Amino acid sequence: MTIDWDTLREAARDVMLRAYAPYSGFPVGAAAYADDGRLLVGCNVENAAYGVTLCAECSLVSALITGGGGRLVAFACVNRDGTAIMPCGRCRQLLWEHGGPELLVDTPRGILPMSDVLPQAFGPEDLAVREGE
């Protein structure tokens, strides 16, 4: 599958405008392609109880699952200026779960695989080593 990075970045910038970020003033937009070609988007949704805040990646992953599931193959995330930002640590773990090591991420240092973005990740396969299984 050929990745249209310009379309992906534009979708991230568009959805960033819908962010609900009254507390941080830091709107974030995220966009991704699923392996069936679906274009998924998400924005951050903050809360008066700050810790309840949903990152843009959270709503994107929810869109992946509620839209029928699948695997993420390419991901972009932008700030207010439309500039690429790195996913936070928690969201790297979310992306790992649904994209794995080969998911391509648009980073400030160029397009990198998740295996570079979250080295030595803990993932679903680690749970296969549970005692008695």
* Least CB distance to ligand THU at residue 88 (A): 4
User: Among residue numbers 26 through 45, which ones bind ligand THU (CB under 6 A)?
Assistant: 26, 28, 44
**Distance between CA atoms of residues 80 and 78, nearest Å:** 7
Q: Does 107 help bind ligand THU (rule: CB under 6 A)?
A: no
One residue of 32, 46, 98, 104 binding ligand THU per CB under 6 A: 46
Strands 110-113 and 104-107: antiparallel
Interface contacts to ligand THU, rule CB under 6 A = 21, 24, 26, 28, 44, 46, 53, 55-57, 87-88, 91
